[in-house]
Amino acid sequence: MIHNLTKKTVIAKKSVVALTVYERGRGMIGRTFNDFDAMVFNNCSCIHTMFMSMGIDVIFADRENKICEIRKNLQPWVPFARGPGAVSVIELPPGTIERTNTEKGDIIDLNAELTEKAKEALLSKEFATAAHPAMPFK
């Protein structure tokens, strides 16, 4: 869930994090907001809407989760949209920013959920193997 702490509103009830390279590259391409209502990209300051079939609202947030840029109804085929100072990007259904009265400068709370593929990647064998015990210092 993503909350606007400044306005005390809910921006998104079910958000997912694009974590893997595939998910981050794909984003909302070929998807709709039927199963979730926000896609979060951490460690990110710019996006594109190439190959998308719909417009999206976009929130760019800085390290303190302060909104540093917003884009309402960003249309498909925009090659580059940037939020200076942003470290997180949230893609939302068009009209969400207007409906929730979200503005630049608002503070948000990002409690996004990992997608199934992201969970699998984090829990893969590579990450699950125990580290070798340290050799005693002689």
List, for residues 54-78, the tens digit of each pLDDT value. Answer: 999 999 999 999 999 999 999 999 9
Average pLDDT of 80-90? 96
Residues of the chain above pLDDT 90, percent: 67
Residue 131 above 80 pLDDT? no
Residue 109 counted as domain residue = yes
Residue 135 pLDDT: 45
User: In whole angstroms, what is the distance from residue 56 CA to residue 96 CA?
Assistant: 9
Domain span at residue 56 reads: 2-117
Q: What are phi and psi of 99, to 5 degrees?
A: -60, -35
Residues 57, 71 contacting (CB under 8 angstroms): yes
Residue 124 counted as domain residue = no
Residue 16 counted as domain residue = yes
**CATH number of the domain encompassing residue 100:** 2.60.120.1140
Helix residue ranges per DSSP H, 17-124:
21-26, 96-99, 116-122
Residue 122 counted as domain residue = no
pLDDT band, very low/low/confident/very high, at 90 (cuts 50, 70, 90): very high
Residue 83 pLDDT: 96
Look up tokens 């994090």; give the residue. 17
Residue 123 counted as domain residue = no
Q: What is the pTM of this model?
A: 0.80
Residue 62 counted as domain residue = yes
Residue 125 pLDDT: 53
Residue 24 counted as domain residue = yes
Domain count within the chain: 1
Tell me how far CA of residue 9 lies from CA of 5, 31, 45, 92, in angstroms: 7, 25, 24, 15
Tell me the CA end-to-end span of the chain in Å, nearest whole number: 51
User: In whole angstroms, what is the distance from residue 93 CA to residue 73 CA?
Assistant: 8
Residue 129 counted as domain residue = no
Amino acid identity, residue 113?
A: E
